[in-house]
Amino acid sequence: MSLGQTKVFMALSQRLSWDMKNMEVASDNLARADMSGAKEKRLKPFSFKSALSGELMRTNPQHLSSPNGGVTEMLSTKDKKKDVTITGNTISTHHEMMEFNNSTTKVYETTSLQKKFVQMYRNWMTVTK
């Protein structure tokens, strides 16, 4: 079995993709923060449990379909009741910056975990030869 086919490595890759998409959503929210009537968008939280169980996200319509419908189905706009400004805007720039920074930190952590996993896999392959 190659390294890319292991469930752990696939789950880490999915986490990395989710964090990148979350950064994109936060950036989009920040760009629309001054628009009247703009509604905040959110991704559903990432779950390693579902990633390890084999549920895959579809990132391209030509890829195999997944049971959860892919990233477009993951967008959620009705998380909690939000504060609404006079113009009907529900986007908080401070919250979006925190989301973006949190995702940036998670990308760094996930990449570090992937590097450690690759090192561990290489050591294991060297010992078993």
Find all residues with CB under 8 Å of 30, minimum gap 6, and list them. 91, 93, 96, 97, 100
Q: Is the pTM of this model over 0.75?
A: no
Q: pLDDT tens-digit profile of 61-97?
A: 555 554 444 444 445 445 455 666 666 777 888 888 9
- The SS3 call for residue 8 is helix
Q: Would you mind telling me the total number of residues written for the chain in this entry? A: 129
